[in-house]
Amino acid sequence: MKILIVDDKEQDIYILQVLLEGHGYEVVAAANGAEALEKARRDPPDMIITDILMPVMDGFTLCREWKGDEHLKEIPFIFYTATYTDSKDEKLALRLGADRFIVKPVDPDEFINIIKGVIRDIEKGKIKPKKPVLEKEKEVFKLYSERLVKKLEKKMLELESDITERKQSEKALQKVNMTIKILGDCNQALVRATEELDLLNEMCMIIVKEGGYRLAWVGYAEQDENKTVRPVAQAGYEEGYLDMVNITWADTEQGRGPTGKVIRTGKPSILKNILTDPEYTPWRSEATKHGYESSIALPLIAEDLTLGALNIYAEEPDAFDTEEVKLLTELADGMAYGIMALRTHAERVQAQEALKESERYTRGLIESSLDALVTISAEAKITDVNHATELITGLSRNEIIGTNFSKYFTDPVAAERHYQKVFQDGHVQNYLLEIKHRDGKFTPVLYNASVYKDTQGRVAGAFAAARDISDFKRMEEQLLQAQKMEAIGTLAGGIAHDFNNILGAIIGYTEIASLQVAEDNKAKESLNEVLKAGRRARDLVKQILAFSRKGEQERIPVQISLIVKEALKLLRSSLPTTIEIRQNIESDTGIVEADPTQIHQILMNLCTNAGHAMREEGGVLEV
């Protein structure tokens, strides 16, 4: 089945085309009524679906032409239009011969069901060709409103019954047509509008240009202390007039004029003659100087809130009749609707920008965190990570997302158990786990997690944070080592103190024995060697005590070469014979201020370390 779609918006055509072709229909498209007629007359479709508002030829005109064509009138005609239409449009469409009138938006399945229903009605013979619209009615339907049809029919009867009133009726009809044109142009401005003040200025310009009025301006009702009216848009006025008006809408002498009254009451206010009407006394001189003879003020009401007023001035008295007032009231309602629609749109855009900015801010905080942060679904799948997570795992964000979170721990079972605990308790805190890096190394982490909920309050997943505590672990080990060394130092100090007492006895008795032995006695030489060894042992104990007490040592002038040679003598006995000690020490190395014991200790430490490095295979220790 072939369906002809008529719409001036490519996006709407595309959506319908995809929907209909997806259900097996052949689709042909046209951008306006004239193009649709041309295509249908060359190759008639099985059905037509059309919008109303289109350039060149609108939907109502197309329907009238379609139902008046002998070759097309039996083809089902369906209107598919936007929500700004009302019941009068539907009645007019059906009166023109349309088979269905569908208001956007419609659920796709419901739309297809309507199309199928039309097809079934055709097959059952329920849909039959409508009679073509009479030629006399065609001009009436161009006004797109049943209300206007009744008005014009009434005026035509008046013209036929009373020739003497012809000129007056023609003028009234012309004025109605003019007002309708203003409505039409302003409706198009509403559709095009993107900025609030631009819309108001354009509508004021249309009112002045198309309606022949002297001035049109819009004032907003300010909720300040004095309840003033702020002019925001205007057209046709002489420079400086609105600045001199000084309008308020408070119930004061200044605020009881037309503008203030309509804002307070929410009802139109008409001044038939500015020269005689007392309501305009405060501004009469300025108004008459600029040629204003009558005026109308219309409230701008949206969502039960009076936003302000639309004011229109004419150069002749009693310029606004009843029908014109009704149409201008509709215009003011449309203006108020446009203001609220644009404000709602602006608020939505602002909210979206604020949300984007908040998301950027939050993302920045997440990415700058040194902790590995992840979001996890209820199914234990990772849904998002930050940069720190990439570093601690060695994997990219795309590689991680979508995988099971427990696979990245050295103990997946424990990780899974903690995650289940999150859902039971709502959170877990400070669990010690290890994360695997892709190169095989392990990183100890402190794991914390808490659940998050969706808009219905249901648990949707969890936020988790893993803090790298490698440095903390190293510091802990260093602290333990320092404590161990401190304990050893304390123990060594105690041993050294007792050993020093023993050495005191050895050295003392050896000195006494040396004094009791003659100089030529061989025992004298042995006793001197005992004294030397005792004194070296005393110096060694002094080093141990210095280490254990951590006290400041005294610096004295020393010749370092002697200390080095003495230390190497002691060291020789502690190193294996596979290690050769080579010395290259100048005798005249000069005098420095130093602690001999610490110099001795430094050299012993360096050489002992070197000896340990060569203990297995031997080597040369060169000083």
pLDDT at 142: 45
* Neighbour-count burial of 383, counting CB atoms closer than 10 A to its CB (0-12 exposed, 13-18 middle, 19+ buried): middle
Averages of pLDDT over runs of 10 residues in the chain (623 residues) are 91 88 92 92 93 87 90 90 70 86 86 88 65 44 44 50 52 69 80 85 88 88 86 76 69 81 90 83 75 89 89 88 85 88 82 84 81 88 89 90 87 84 82 86 88 83 88 85 78 79 89 88 87 82 67 78 85 87 88 86 89 91 94
pLDDT confidence of residue 154: 54
According to DSSP, the residues that pair with 376 across neighbouring strands are: 382, 462
* 192-200: Cβ within 8 A, 24+ apart: 193/338, 193/342, 194/342, 195/342, 196/339, 196/342, 196/343, 196/346, 197/232, 197/233, 199/335, 199/338, 199/339, 199/342, 200/232, 200/233, 200/335, 200/339
Q: CB within 8 A of 463, min separation 6: which ones?
A: 373, 374, 375, 376, 449, 450, 451, 452
Identify the CA nearest to 289 among candidates 230, 231, 214: 214
List Cβ<8 Å contacts ≥24 apart for 277-286.
Answer: 282/253, 282/254, 282/257, 283/245, 283/257, 286/241, 286/244, 286/245
| Euclidean distance between CA atoms 127 and 134, whole angstroms | 20
| 3-class secondary-structure state, position 617 | coil
Q: Could you give the CA distance from residue 287 to residue 297 in angstroms, rounded to a whole number?
A: 15
pLDDT at 173: 65
Indicate the SS3 state at residue 207: helix
What is the reported pLDDT for 446? 87
pLDDT at 135: 45
Q: What is the pLDDT of residue 86?
A: 64
Please state the φ and ψ torsions of residue 66, each to the nearest 5 degrees. -65, -50
Global confidence as pTM:
0.41
C-alpha torsion angle, residues 568, 569, 575, 577 (rounded to 10): 110
* CB neighbour list of residue 575: distance below 8 Å, 6 or more residues apart: 581, 607, 611, 621
Give dist(CA 466, CA 450) in Å, integer.
Answer: 12
Q: What is d(CA 220, CA 306) in angstroms, rounded to the nearest whole number?
A: 9
Instruction: Report yes or no: 89 and 81 within 8 Å, Cβ to Cβ.
Output: yes
